[in-house]
Amino acid sequence: MKRLVLLGVLIGVGALSLAAAQPPAAPAGPRVIDIQKLKDNLYVLTSSTPGNPATFSGGNVAVFITDGGVTLVDTKLNGWGQAVLDKIKGVTDKPVTRIINTHTHGDHTGNNGFFGANVEIIAHENTKANMQKMDAFKGDNAKFLPGKTYQDKMSLGSGKDKIDLYYFGKGHTSGDTFVVFPALRILHTGDMWAWKDAPLCDRNNGGSCVDFPRTLQKVIAGIKNVDTVIPGHSPIQTPKDLQEYQRFTADMLSHATNELKAGKSVDEAFASFKIDKYPGYKNERVKAAIQAVYDELKK
Ligand SMILES: [Zn+2]
């Protein structure tokens, strides 16, 4: 049941409406977020692995300290804002001035409101449209929607403070942003690479498991000069790991496509998918992803 609730949170709209209608469930213990230093001016707020609702705070947040203030990539689950702020205060006196939401889900946008209406909020235009459907951003809370959007690419700031935002197409949702800190050679993928397991393709928010590998291929071709990758939920990785993930998603797509053509059921396709080719990978989400491919291709 706990697992179902958590999946619901990740899945989006339905669960998010629910979360907005009720106060967030109080975790059993104190709300503790871990912090990892990648550079003097870039930290990651972790405690981001779904599984234990008492400790899961939402996706990995990048804390980028610029001359003009702190930029956050994502804002974790609603109710965790103070814990996020406490960690930021431990590493800088500067205020949070800018939020980049990688995509619409509540475990990445849940504390936009906590940081206030004076903070600049930026996302891909499709993500803004997806967020507008969420109860959490209706009525008065519409002021916590992104005030700035882009289509294909946008750069913010310059020199050591520069941030590049890229959009490469559908995948986890219809509006996933890849955030690059060029001076630091670091990439935040959001949930286009959440974990070493099949992706969640949120078709209610325009996601596509069929487009997923192609979108990741564009990322690999289009984003160079990076040597550290911050995934949406997993520990820090390298570009080589991201390339492996792209191959995994492509492999899964072609397997599902072939099995569908051969008249196999989703259960059969799941049973015959060989996860052991990918060391360290789990297959907890593979069946759902194969189902998503079937649903998309059968349409
Ligand atoms: Zn997500």
Task: Calculate how far, in angstroms, residue 105's C-alpha sits from the geometric centre of ligand 1.
Answer: 5
Q: Residue 267 Cα, ligand 1 centroid: separation in angstroms?
A: 25
CA of 58 to the centre of ligand 1 (A): 9
Distance from the CA of 42 to the center of ligand 1, in angstroms? 22
Q: Residue 94 Cα, ligand 1 centroid: separation in angstroms?
A: 28
C-alpha 256 to ligand 1 mean position (Å): 22
Q: By C-alpha distance, which of 48, 275, 39, 280 is closest to 161? A: 39
Decide if pLDDT at 25 tops 60.
no
Tell me the CA–centroid distance for residue 159 and ligand 1, in Å.
30
Q: How far is the CA of 250 from the centre of ligand 1 (A)?
A: 20
More confident: 1 or 57: 57
- Which whole number is the average pLDDT over 202-230? 98
Q: Is the pLDDT of residue 189 over 80?
A: yes
Q: Please, which pLDDT band fits residue 5 given cuts at 50, 70 and 90?
A: very low
- Kindly give the distance from the C-alpha atom of residue 262 to the centroid of ligand 1, in angstroms, as a whole number: 32
CA 131 – ligand 1 centroid, Å: 12
pLDDT confidence bin for 151, thresholds 50/70/90: very high
Measure 104 CA to ligand 1 centroid, in angstroms.
7
Q: How far is the CA of 173 from the centre of ligand 1 (A)?
A: 8
Give the mean pLDDT of 148-168: 98
Distance 12 CA to ligand 1 centre (A): 8
Strand partners, 122: 100, 148
Give CA–CA dist 32/38, Å, rounded. Answer: 19
CA–centroid distance, 10 to ligand 1, in Å, is 6
Q: Please tell me the distance between residue 172's alpha carbon and the centre of ligand 1 in angstroms.
A: 7
Ligand 1 center–CA 195 separation, angstroms: 11
Top mean pLDDT of 20-34, 48-62, 202-216 is at 202-216
DSSP string across 180-224: EETTTTEEEEEGGG-SSSPPP--GGGT--TTTHHHHHHHHHHH--
Compare 169 and 29 and report the one with higher pLDDT: 169
| CA 191 to centroid of ligand 1, rounded, Å | 5
Distance 212 CA to ligand 1 centre (A): 14
When the pLDDT of each residue in the chain is averaged and rounded to a whole number, the result is 91
- Report CA(222)–ligand 1 centroid distance (Å): 22
